[in-house]
Structure 1
Amino acid sequence: MMLGSVLNPINSTIISVALVPIGKALGAPASQTAWLVSALYLATSLGQPVVGRLIDLFGPRRLFLVSTSLVGVAGVVGALAPDMAVLIVARALLGFGTCSGYPAAMALLRSEAKRTGRDSPGGVLTALAVANQTIAVIGPLLGGLLIAAGGWRATFALNVPLSVVSVVLGLLWLPEPAAAAGPAGRGRLVAQLDLPGMALFAATLTSLLLFLMNPHPDDWYLLVLAAAFAAGFALRELRAATPFIDLRVFGGNTPLLATYGRAVVAYVVSYSFLYGFSQWTEEGYGLSPFRAGLVQIPMFLVAIGVSIVSGRRSGVRGKLLVGAAGQIVACLVMLTLGAGSAVWALLLVALVFGVPQGLNSLALQNSVYFQADAERVASSAGLLRTFAYIGSMIASSATAASFGRRADTGGMHQLAWIMLGAGVLYLLVTAADRTLGRAAHAPAGK
């Protein structure tokens, strides 16, 4: 469960120190290497809720095995890529390949709660969050080591052994779904697939994210397409007997909708720092990829400690408020940095960012577990990641717009102002949400 769920974050963090070496090797500016980030999140944003719904219906085993096999294929393609276009394709394949791990983990938690009659997942949810944070610690440092030893291509080749281990463990331990007992059960589940709804959802999200990747007035038609597809999706889901996303239930769950909106804003700040700050420490400050990875380690170590300590408490509102305040403080400190700043100042920013990094992801994950409908927990968890990736797309676009061809100090400050605005919005939205006090005390699935 944990290994599958970390395939995506390890590919998210390892690329943060590889963007500059890839750009130099392939002659691509920061505005182009940003597509390596966007391609993965576009693919995963589409795949997470779709695969999550399939997991809700068919169980995690088959979806997990197929997806994690694709991770290995993507690793080979990326390691052998001759140019930026093929490298972007490899990142998209990684996005689709890693989209089953987190929904499968949440579905397994739910099935165990049902099997044992004990719905007390706090410790396991914390372990799941800490596992992702641990990989986030390893990612930048491991990326720096791999680049030093074998070049940036080694960061893609790493996915091959990870894929093999994931598939083997999945074959050994993931349970067979009940529907495998006969064709009648499989037929009933297939009948519940809302393929037109899935297609309209994919078209809506693709149009929206393509605009967010590089917002420009000339691309206004993408927003028109997104609105048209969204209208068609809503009509389809309201009329479907078994909708892909039940908008009647979904629309009536205001706390869950607020959690999704909160995730967008939180990850705008988080991923702007993850990618933008890493690029600046290399190009604007002059660190090597390995040392740039070392600078981020304090953030992830603090995040792990905060997750472990705060995971013992069931409430989420306090975590989110402290996380929001931590984001604002960290952004203010970023505005004081320059090319002549001491290294300890960079480490200080990373330390401060560790607090919201550890609190926000855990609190958002726990909120969805308790707020989502029990029968759709995997697809709801997938949607959480989708909204998080929308935030990451906005962050990637903001990073590319702030830096242009080079990640200099002026661009980093511009990005910090954008992050600060998002952090203030996150604090206001969280402070105004009175339902958060009940989130961890409601019966799961309500």
Structure 2
Amino acid sequence: MTAVSAARSTAPVDGGRPGFGARLTAPLLLGSLLNPLNTTMISTGLVAIGHDLGVGAADTAWLVSVLYLASAVAQPVLGRLADSIGPRRVFLGGLVVVAASGLVGACAPGFGWLLVSRLLLGVGTSAAYPAAMAVLRDESRRLGTPTPRTVLGRLSFAALGSAAIGPTLGGLLVATAGWRGIFAVNVPVAAVAFASALLWIPADRPRPRENGSAQRAPALDSLGILLFTGALTCLVVFLLDLRHPMWWLLAPTAVLAAALTWWQLRHPHPFIDLRMLGRNRALARTYLRHGLSYLVVYVVMYGFTQWLEEARGYTSLHTGLVMLPMSAAALACSLLGARTKGIRAPLTLAAALLAAGGGLLCFASGGTPLGVLLLTGACFGIPQGLIGTSNQAAVQQFAPADGIGAAAGLQRTAQYLGAITASGLIGLAYGQSADDGGLHLMAAVALVLAVALVVLTVTDRALRTPRN
């Protein structure tokens, strides 16, 4: 969005406040792009980091994994904080942590400091999306109108667009400023987002009680957060290496999960409201649908590119050009999906296209025409845009009004679990090299999961009619 079009779209209402115009959404979009951008931007700097600091590929891979893990844990935690103490405070605090992480990474004297930087970066960038959803919820309440799908589409577009340009931007920074530029670039971006948020995001307001007095924020469920973090950490470490599974990790995962369930059912203000999820099955199905969708998408996004380079012999540049239709389709459909009124139809179309793409990959080989490969990429790109926008709308529709921040955070946690599981499946399928057999195995898994998604979406009665 250009400055001129942003200014034209701003329509002050109610005492000069911007409603859902550009002044409110600009800082939300800028903050929300930081997490997906840093997820992919590091990919083109791993080799340079390893050479400079004398570490191998297995060690540099943790720079990716630690951000996934931190984000999966921090998204619902910071979402709960946004619901309890106010989204503007959480949004601004997260940007401060992002700036600090950029400075730590840019000045890191060793590899351990880079891990600390990525951990802080995962926590700081995780504040933006759930806080943004809570800000939109509050503005929707004030105006007495639902959040426009176009606004949700812009959030999805910001995430998809930043993830798509991340490798290119990372390569440019490494070539011009060195790998430290990948960390340092977060400082000015966070500063601009912080300044615009101070100016344009409305101050947090206390929620009234039924008797009209100010409502005090409930105490944060610290034990619940610790149990959730422990269980998720054990599960993630297990999923990251399915080729050499550490089966013993399933025992502490099960024990911590059981303790978490027991505690959440007894706490007056639980970190994860399991009773609500048990009653609100539409929201629980949204999380399941979102996680499975991104499991399929990430299996192909990363597994297909490796196969193109190793099995087909394409260069990184040629692989990027083959994947260009996938990225372009994802960006275009995130905007088109925002203009649809329903949820069920775009999600059904997305699941059907994922199944079609998986079917095409089941027969891919070294002699597959380039046109078929381009079509396959588009079959996985279109669903990305539709899934992101439609599931955002589903969370807005089905989540409790006072818990939208935590609900949005859990949506992202489901997405990261899908990504982490995909990484493990890719390692399990390929082993030492990406060959046709490994690709066909992943394609078969993607096809089965996509068919399950079609069934899950078509049979979900909650998606058939909008909820007021």
Confirm or deny a common fold (TM above 0.5): yes
1:431 Cα deviation from its structure 2 partner: 2.8
Structure 2, unpaired ranges of 5+: 1-27, 208-212
In percent, how many aligned pairs have the same letter? Answer: 42
Report the Cα distance in structure 2 between the residues aligned to 1:65 and 1:337, rounded to whole angstroms: 47
Matching residue within 145, 162, 165 for 1:135: 162
1:95 Cα deviation from its structure 2 partner: 1.3
1:39-50 → structure 2 map (5 Å cutoff) = 39-50=66-77
Contact 1:130 1:308 in 2 (8 A): yes
Report the Cα distance in structure 1 between the residues aligned to 2:370 and 2:90, rounded to whole angstroms: 45
Report the Cα distance in structure 2 between the residues aligned to 1:431 and 1:112, rounded to whole angstroms: 32
For residue 216 of structure 2, give the secondary structure of its aligned residue in structure 1. Answer: helix
Contact 1:17 1:292 in 2 (8 A): no
Aligned pair 1:177/2:207, yes or no? no
What root-mean-square deviation, in Å, do the aligned CA atoms of Structure 1 and Structure 2 show? Answer: 2.9
1:21 Cα deviation from its structure 2 partner: 6.2
Aligned to 1:28: 56
1:411-426 → structure 2 map (5 Å cutoff) = 411-426=438-453
Aligned to 2:467: 442
Report the Cα distance in structure 2 between the residues aligned to 1:149 and 1:416, rounded to whole angstroms: 38
Aligned pair 1:309/2:336, yes or no? yes
Moved more, 312-321 or 32-41: 32-41
Specify the code of the residue in structure 2 equivalent to 1:260. Y
Aligned pair 1:118/2:118, yes or no? no
Moved more, 293-302 or 79-88: 79-88
Closer, same or farther: CA 281–218 of 1 in aligned 2, 3 Å? closer
Aligned pair 1:208/2:235, yes or no? yes
For residue 192 of structure 1, give the secondary structure of its aligned residue in structure 2. Answer: coil
**TM value normalised by structure 1:** 0.87
1:241 Cα deviation from its structure 2 partner: 1.9
Report the Cα distance in structure 1 between the residues aligned to 2:393 and 2:43, rounded to whole angstroms: 27
Closer, same or farther: CA 126–201 of 1 in aligned 2, 3 Å? same
1:266 Cα deviation from its structure 2 partner: 0.6
**TM value normalised by structure 2:** 0.84
Aligned pair 1:193/2:220, yes or no? yes
Specify the code of the residue in structure 2 equivalent to 1:177. D
Deviation per CA, 1:156-205: give whole Å up to 9, x if none. 3332322222222223333332359xxxx99932x432212222222222
Report the Cα distance in structure 2 between the residues aligned to 1:154 and 1:285, rounded to whole angstroms: 32
Report the Cα distance in structure 2 between the residues aligned to 1:155 and 1:348, rounded to whole angstroms: 32
Aligned to 2:99: 72
Contact 2:242 2:427 in 1 (8 A): no
Aligned to 1:319: 346
For residue 429 of structure 1, give the secondary structure of its aligned residue in structure 2. Answer: helix
For residue 188 of structure 1, give the secondary structure of its aligned residue in structure 2. Answer: coil
Structure 1, unpaired ranges of 5+: none
For residue 272 of structure 2, give the secondary structure of its aligned residue in structure 1. Answer: coil
Closer, same or farther: CA 24–417 of 1 in aligned 2, 3 Å? farther
Matching residue within 356, 360, 364 for 2:387: 360
Q: Segments of 4+ in structure 1 off by > 6 A?
A: none
Contact 1:300 1:354 in 2 (8 A): yes
Deviation per CA, 1:320-359: give whole Å up to 9, x if none. 1111111122223334444565654443332222211111
Matching residue within 395, 401, 405 for 1:378: 405
- Which structure's residues are more often helix, by fraction? 1
Aligned to 1:262: 289
Report the Cα distance in structure 2 between the residues aligned to 1:289 and 1:76, rounded to whole angstroms: 30
Contact 1:265 1:425 in 2 (8 A): no
Deviation per CA, 1:26-62: give whole Å up to 9, x if none. 6634x65543332211111100000000000111222
Aligned to 2:278: 251
Q: Which has the higher contact order (CA 8 A, sep 6+)?
A: 1
Report the Cα distance in structure 2 between the residues aligned to 1:336 and 1:81, rounded to whole angstroms: 46
Report the Cα distance in structure 1 between the residues aligned to 2:61 and 2:439, rounded to whole angstroms: 15
Specify the code of the residue in structure 2 equivalent to 1:382. G
Moved more, 275-284 or 76-85: 76-85
Closer, same or farther: CA 73–410 of 1 in aligned 2, 3 Å? farther
Closer, same or farther: CA 329–222 of 1 in aligned 2, 3 Å? same
Specify the code of the residue in structure 2 equivalent to 1:279. Q
Moved more, 337-346 or 91-100: 337-346
Aligned pair 1:387/2:442, yes or no? no
